[in-house]
Amino acid sequence: MAAKQVDIAIVGAGFAGMYMLHRARGMGLRAVVFETGDGVGGTWYWNRYPGARCDVESMEYSYQFDDDLQQEWSWSERYAAQPEILRYANHVADRFDLKRDIRFETRVTAAHFDDAGGLWHIETESRNGGVDTIAATHLVMATGCLSSANVPHFEGMEDFKGDWHHTGRWPKEGVDFTGKRVAVIGTGSSAIQSIPVIARQAEHLTVFQRTPNYAVPAHNHPVDPEREAWFKAHYKELREKAKQGRSGQLYSVRDLPWGSEPLETAKAEFARRWDLGGFSYLGAYVDLLVNKEGNAVAAEFVREKIRETVKDPETAELLCPTSVIGCKRLCVDIGYFETYNRDNVNLVDISKDPIERLTEKGLITGGKEYAFDAIVFATGFDAMTGSLNRIDIRGRGGLPLAEKWEAGPRTYLGLTTVGFPNLFLITGPGSPSVLTNMLPTIEQHVDYVSDIIEHLRAHGQTTIEPEQDAEDAWVDHVNAIAGGTLYPSCNSWYLGANVPGKPRVFMPYPGFPAYVKKCEEIAAAGYEGFRLE
Ligand code: NA7
């Protein structure tokens, strides 16, 4: 085998890329990982903004493929903060000696499938501008669902004399806001996490809100050593139990539909779950993302909490979301609404008067100029497809992936796409991905891809590609399932609605845990819906 040819090329050294590399090595494959950053961690490498934290509980947000690993690692808080998750990623990379096969500071710019040779030809560019190529039998896109920063293209961006940063591309050395007038644009999860922290440091903070968001309290606290010991003693059962839940997490989702209890009981259940904190709030009834009436009561309960918390009634009303609760990913906050009671924080509603432009001093909205020393764009990501479409990926006959997906992504199982043989998308569009706990979902996909590769080798085959019928049916199925829920009712990044010009298609598959069973059945039937050669 030539030095510039591998069995498997992996793009991205986040949790997906790292585990894929580990599995590939275990199968004796020659593998290489390309990573733009200078370290592992993916989303946790880039999202270093103040207050960045996982919204899945730390004891569940970890790998489970190695029992020694899960036994030896200790999380310090109920919800782990970014620096700790990044330390965990590095711990894993060092423990399994992964870094020697990761080419850091190397961006994959193109990947073209050669029909005749049956190989992927991959072009990379290193930070110093060096261009390189490599051929691979299998190409795994472990590029993450939230990796491509959505930086708005405001007129006058270059005129602004202060500093601006996007939360998803935060400088490694951190940003000191002491004594500064700061603007935060956006009120999604990143903003909701960073606003309380920035407010404590900055001289003044102005938040520009286009759409308010629902947030439930994290009630974060240090991990109790006794609970940790119990959890570790029962990891196997707990991990299995989590896999039966609709989001791959342990929080309880009651098997009760809305309307099965009197309204007062329902409100008491919402209050109980509010006090528990986190995503469990939406598990009060099994159908809260289907039943409009139940959803409206759950939403009103949160609005009441906002009105109770925020002292200025006008600000409180502006902070009250009106959409379906849960159709955007529910935010888990630490003191977000309370922050608006501070003297140095104010909220500007830009729902009717969008930001017109940036200026030398700050920005203009509603005909008024606001002056700042720093602007934070908490404006989210070109989710799920952004990090794929920005690479020049071409399949059979030179077809660009971005062209095939012009009207929205089309996949079979969210893992593969017709015309792109041996290309695997870890947690790709059309898979449960972001609607679940990403770590176990990543492991399920990586294990599935590994099984496919083993199967091909065992049968003397080299190529796998989905059948057109199977892909069409899967896309229809995902749309039908999503269409039967309240998810498509608001402008979320699940739908691509946050990126101007992006096709409005519900990208994740709201079908966990049935999805895993379906994958297993397909494999057991000799990879039904795939063509293996
Ligand atoms: P989100 O959830 O996409 O939030 C982005 C926010 O930025 C949201 O409030 C947007 O308002 C706002 N936004 C986006 N573009 C603009 C422009 N041009 N002008 C004003 N406001 C804008 O991203 P996050 O990073 O907070 O969270 C992403 C996920 O990471 C989250 O769901 C968790 O899973 C972790 P909009 O709502 O579109 O009106």
Please tell me the distance from the alpha carbon of residue 39 to that of residue 146, in angstroms, as a whole number: 17
- What residue's CA is closest to ligand 1, atom 16? 379
Please tell me the distance from the alpha carbon of residue 214 to that of residue 132, in angstroms, as a whole number: 46
The 10s digit of each residue's pLDDT in 256-272 is 999 999 999 999 999 99
- 191 CA from centroid of ligand 1 (Å): 8
Q: Which residues contact 146 (CB under 8 A, 6 or more apart)?
A: 43, 168, 380, 381, 383, 434
- What residue's CA is closest to ligand 1, atom 29? 189
Looking at the DSSP bridge assignments, the partners of residue 355 are: 365
Mean pLDDT value of segment 100-107: 98
Q: Do 430 and 509 touch, CB atoms closer than 8 A?
A: yes
- What residue's CA is closest to ligand 1, atom 14? 379
Ligand 1 pocket check: which of 53, 210, 494 to mutate, most ligand atoms within 8 Å of Cβ?
210
Please tell me the distance from the alpha carbon of residue 109 to that of residue 106, in angstroms, as a whole number: 9
pLDDT band at 3 (very low <50, low <70, confident <90, very high): low
Please tell me the distance from the alpha carbon of residue 240 to that of residue 227, in angstroms, as a whole number: 18
Asked if pLDDT for residue 422 goes beyond 80, the answer is yes
- What residue's CA is closest to ligand 1, atom 12? 186
Confidence (pLDDT) at 304 = 98
Question: What is the pLDDT of the chain when averaged over all its residues?
Answer: 97
pLDDT band at 1 (very low <50, low <70, confident <90, very high): very low
β strands within 313-359, DSSP E: 331-333, 345-349, 355-358
- 469 CA from centroid of ligand 1 (Å): 35
In ligand 1, the atom with minimum distance to the C-alpha of 379 is 7
Asked if pLDDT for residue 432 goes beyond 50, the answer is yes
Q: Which residues contact 163 (CB under 8 A, 6 or more apart)?
A: 175, 373, 374, 375
Spatial CA neighbour of 440 closest among 89, 63, 53: 63
Asked if pLDDT for residue 72 goes beyond 60, the answer is yes
Which letter does DSSP use for residue 380 in this model?
A: -
- What residue's CA is closest to ligand 1, atom 31? 189
Number of neighbouring beta carbons within 10 Å of residue 229 = 10
Looking at the DSSP bridge assignments, the partners of residue 531 are: 465
Asked if pLDDT for residue 288 goes beyond 70, the answer is yes
Looking at the DSSP bridge assignments, the partners of residue 377 are: 166, 185
Please tell me the distance from the alpha carbon of residue 295 to that of residue 288, in angstroms, as a whole number: 5
Q: Do 181 and 384 touch, CB atoms closer than 8 A?
A: no
- What residue's CA is closest to ligand 1, atom 32? 329
Please tell me the distance from the alpha carbon of residue 33 to that of residue 89, in angstroms, as a whole number: 15
Q: At 410, list the tokens.
A: 């089309």
Asked if pLDDT for residue 343 goes beyond 60, the answer is yes
Q: At 64, list the tokens.
A: 């489970």
- 213 CA from centroid of ligand 1 (Å): 9
β strands within 2-118, DSSP E: 5-11, 31-34, 102-103, 106-114
In ligand 1, the atom with minimum distance to the C-alpha of 167 is 25
Residue 349 backbone dihedrals phi, psi, to 5 degrees: -85, 120
The 10s digit of each residue's pLDDT in 189-209 is 999 999 999 999 999 999 999
- What residue's CA is closest to ligand 1, atom 18? 152
Q: Which residues contact 453 (CB under 8 A, 6 or more apart)?
A: 8, 24, 27, 29, 138
Asked if pLDDT for residue 169 goes beyond 80, the answer is yes
Ligand 1 pocket check: which of 498, 499, 504 to mutate, most ligand atoms within 8 Å of Cβ?
498
Confidence (pLDDT) at 2 = 41
- What residue's CA is closest to ligand 1, atom 28? 380
Looking at the DSSP bridge assignments, the partners of residue 370 are: 363
Please tell me the distance from the alpha carbon of residue 302 to that of residue 288, in angstroms, as a whole number: 14
Output the pTM of the full model. Answer: 0.97
Confidence (pLDDT) at 172 = 96
Please tell me the distance from the alpha carbon of residue 309 to that of residue 315, in angstroms, as a whole number: 11
- With tokens 């599995």, the residue in question is 23
Residue 344 backbone dihedrals phi, psi, to 5 degrees: -95, 15
Residues enclosing ligand 1, CB less than 6 A?
146, 152, 167, 185-191, 210-211, 329, 350, 355, 378-380, 491, 493, 498
- 87 CA from centroid of ligand 1 (Å): 27
Query: What's the one-letter identity of residue 252?
Result: S
- 195 CA from centroid of ligand 1 (Å): 13
The 10s digit of each residue's pLDDT in 495-532 is 999 999 999 999 999 999 999 999 999 999 999 999 99
Please tell me the distance from the alpha carbon of residue 424 to that of residue 443, in angstroms, as a whole number: 14
pLDDT band at 311 (very low <50, low <70, confident <90, very high): very high
Q: At 199, list the tokens.
A: 């407010």
Please tell me the distance from the alpha carbon of residue 98 to that of residue 289, in angstroms, as a whole number: 40
Please tell me the distance from the alpha carbon of residue 345 to that of residue 433, in angstroms, as a whole number: 35
Please tell me the distance from the alpha carbon of residue 196 to that of residue 49, in angstroms, as a whole number: 12
Please tell me the distance from the alpha carbon of residue 425 to that of residue 12, in angstroms, as a whole number: 11
Please tell me the distance from the alpha carbon of residue 371 to that of residue 486, in angstroms, as a whole number: 40
β strands within 274-390, DSSP E: 331-333, 345-349, 355-358, 362-365, 368-371, 374-377
- 423 CA from centroid of ligand 1 (Å): 30
